[in-house]
Amino acid sequence: MITLAATETFALIVGLLTLTPGLDTALILRTAALGHRRRAWGVVLGIQSGTLVWGTLTSLGVTALLTASHLAYEAVRWCGAAYLVGMGGRLLWATWHHSANESPRTAGAADTTGTRTGRETEAVKGISDTLLGGWRQGIMTNLLNPKMGAFYVAVLPQFIPTGAPHLALGVLLAGVHILLAVVWSCALIACAHVLRDRLQRPSARRCLDRITGTVIAAFGVRLALGQ
């Protein structure tokens, strides 16, 4: 069986990975900051569902095929890059398009009164505050990142002793990763909730969407370039 020391070492590795600002952090913060708490938790559950899938597939040896097959890895990489660039591009286009069509008088009134809420803005973009919608976004983002599979292939087998039940221990270690990630997500959502009132102004929401869209698109470009 796996030792306590090995579990602690694995927790340290995935804990540092979780704390590193990245795509997951940007998605959760942006969704929660706009007041979409159900969708934010859906994103969290989706991301962690993807983590559980990667952990399970790695324990069964399936993800080793992904890293061994250049064609399979490239297919997932390009699909993930296209998905992320498309997501980031849509956010950026929506903010610039809305800003261009908004008259100075309307913008001034919106900034001073704050009559338009984040929920209304998201409705214009066709995004609803639903748990299922967030879950789909989270799991797609996670599963279309082949580097998650590569990470698990490189790290997880080192913590499973020879002759031990790979599936059970693999899922257990993935559970440790998920637990740490959920705790960190709780902190992110709580922080975003505190800042929510400051983001009710349309100009602040557009700024947040531009930052998030740029981060997501940049991750997509980096993935496409293989960096």
Give domain limits for the chain: 22-221
pLDDT of residue 128: 64
Give the contacts of 103 (CB within 8 A, at least 6 positions apart): none
pLDDT of residue 120: 44
Q: Where are the alpha helices (DSSP H) in 37-162?
A: 37-59, 63-68, 70-101, 104-113, 118-124, 131-143, 146-155
pLDDT of residue 53: 95
Closest CA to 84 of 224, 205, 208: 224
The tens-digit pLDDT sequence of the chain (227 residues) is 667 888 899 999 999 989 988 888 889 988 888 878 899 999 999 999 999 999 999 988 887 777 777 787 788 888 888 988 988 888 888 777 665 555 444 444 444 444 444 444 444 344 567 899 999 999 999 998 888 888 888 888 888 887 788 899 999 999 999 999 999 999 999 988 887 777 667 777 788 788 888 888 888 888 888 75
Coil/strand/helix, residue 190? helix
Residue 210 sits at φ, ψ, to 5 deg, of: -65, -40
82, exposed or middle or buried, with CB in 10 Å at 0-12, 13-18, 19+? middle
Residue 117 sits at φ, ψ, to 5 deg, of: -95, 165
**Alpha-carbon distances of 72 from 82, 98, 177, 198, 224, rounded to whole Å:** 16, 39, 25, 44, 14
pTM of this structure: 0.78
pLDDT of residue 100: 56
